[in-house]
Amino acid sequence: MMVWRHYLLVIVFTALSAALAVRVVYLGVADSKFLRQQGDARSIRTETMPAFRGVVYDRNGEPLAVSTPVMSVYTDPSLGELGIDAVERIAEVLEVDPLALQMTLRENRKRQFVYLKRRTTWNQYQAARALRIPGVHFQREYRRYYPAGDTTAHVVGITDVDDQGLEGAELAFDERLTGHNGSKVVLKDRRGGIVKDLEYLEAPVFGKDVWLSLDLRLQFLAHRELRAAIMEYGAASGSVVMADARTGEILAMVNEPSYNPNDPSSAFLAGLRNQAITDRYEPGSTMKPFTVLAALASGRWHADTQIPTSPGTFRVGRLLVRDPVNRGTITLLQALQKSSQVAIAKVALDLDQRAVFDVLSRVGMGEYIGVGLPGEAIGTLTDQGLRNPVVRTTLSYGYGLAITPLHLTQGYLTLANGGVRMPLSVLRQDGAPTGERVIEESLAREVVTMMESVTAPEGTAPGARVAGYRISGKTGTSRKVGAGGYDDKRHVALFAGIAPATDPRFVMVVVVNEPKGEQVGGGAVSGPIFGRIAAGALRLLGVRPDAEPAPV
């Protein structure tokens, strides 16, 4: 009996061994392709090799936007590897809501790829990796870092979570900055870690760099002074635009309020908007130099032409034009220096109907400037109603049109260039672009010289003066339109200037929106801001003084 059992066990064992051997041979020979496919499906993956986005530099090579490597955490919900306990543990270290994470995984349970969190901090990544939870994987990506923060936010802009441009230069030059991802085939272990690179399919193509025209030194200076002034006057907002008088390059463009692009959660609607190119205002008396220019071009007016302004008021139809005081009889030069509404109105009505309008049109007040940034507004300037003396009168001192600080910069840049209209750009230029002559040179030079009187002690903006330099400019104070018409309590204070007057190096426009307090005019509010920024800018740019030293 025992012998029979022995032989039975030997026969069964031999049969099983033979069957196993046959099965191994069958699988290794007849079905090897299927097995390899199944093994590869579980361990071989195609991985994306993220491309590096191009760097944004200022004109001197200072980085304004760079890409830094970060880690993102993901899983494959279709495998069902993450239980409730694992989700709670990973949610704790990633600092996300565990209930929201569970719901996300439940809603996407048939998908093979879901992010648990993108762009983690280094500490979060290390903590998540230390948990060694099966099914939790990590992927390298890039995120943008902006070294200058809120100082350059409106010009440089931001990107979204996928590193695509959303605002500013990041959006305007997105195609140039964006690279193309590569790919490779890798062997992974059961935890998702890469064991070996098997094959490189396509190399990543890095994005190209962009060199902006901004000078970061001037940008910091302008932003500091504007922010201090906005706080001092309790203003709603403000903008400063500075352009190179020789090339049309934007050297500085700042706004308040601003935002920190490294913390997008801090951004809000007003802070995101680049008000220097999007917000339009009636420019007020900053238009008077162009009215004077039209008068000089007529040949009937000269700097010393006498203009009676008594008794300090002048009626045009139903419009009563007022000066703050009765200035008596003054010259055209003094009308610009004192910013006399009555004198400028009388000059405008003496000219041809289209004279002032044509000058404003030629310097670009009603056009799309095309500086190279998204969101730029077109100026509003129309020739409708020019037969009406009231329309011509208000246009002569800056009402009846709406322009951005960028338009005002373009107009004064044309004066600084002796009547040649230069294109404005936020990109660094290799040389001065070719401009278009729109004003006779001698007339433009004469107006710039006349505008020096505005910053003299007797002018409306002595605060815009810079010791050792001759400064040309013009103040502007416009009332804002409210529900019941023009509001006497809400103003825009403007100053547009050229420095130095003899050989212009830059043009700068300062706009303060709704300053509070006793002083709300362009001469008292915006003029001193210009003076402080210009003083620092002239020193940083190494511009030699052009003014005669004061007598001892």
Active-site positions? 285
Q: In the beta sheet, which residues pair with residue 165?
A: 159
Q: Residue 493 corresponds to which amino acid? A: A
Q: HEC string of 209-265?
A: CEEECCCHHHHHHHHHHHHHHHHHHCCCEEEEEEEECCCCEEEEEEEECCCCCCCHH
What does the alpha-carbon distance between residue 153 and residue 517 come to, in Å, rounded to a whole number? 29
Q: What 3-state class would DSSP assign to 287?
A: helix
> What are the structure tokens assigned to 467, written together?
């010791």
Inter-CA distances, 239 with 147, 230, 280, 442, 496, Å:
21, 10, 12, 31, 12
Strand partners, 140: 71
Local structure of residue 369 (DSSP, 8 states): -
- Say if residues 82 and 135 touch (Cβ distance below 8 Å): yes
| Full DSSP string of 431-491 | SPPP-EE-S-HHHHHHHHHHHGGGGSTTSS-GGG-BTTB--EEEEEEEEEEETTEEEEEEE
Instruction: Please report which helix (H) or strand (E) contains residue 21, including its range.
Output: helix 2-29
Q: Which of 260, 47, 241 is nearest to 150 (CA)?
A: 260
Q: How far apart are CA 517 and CA 199, in angstroms?
A: 70
Q: What is the 3-state secondary structure (H, E, C) of 124-165?
A: HHHHHHHHCCCCEEEEEEEEEECCCHHHCHHHHCCECCCCCE
Return the closest-CA partner of residue 333 out of 299, 298, 306, 360.
Answer: 306
Q: What is the enclosing helix (H) or strand (E) of 45? A: strand 44-49
Q: Residue 418 in 3-state DSSP? A: coil
Give the closest residue to 506 by CA, choosing from 220, 241, 177, 200.
Answer: 241
- 123 Cβ neighbours under 8 A, 6+ residues apart: none
How would you classify the pairing of strands 210-211 and 56-57?
Answer: parallel
Dig out the tokens for 502 from the structure: 């003899």
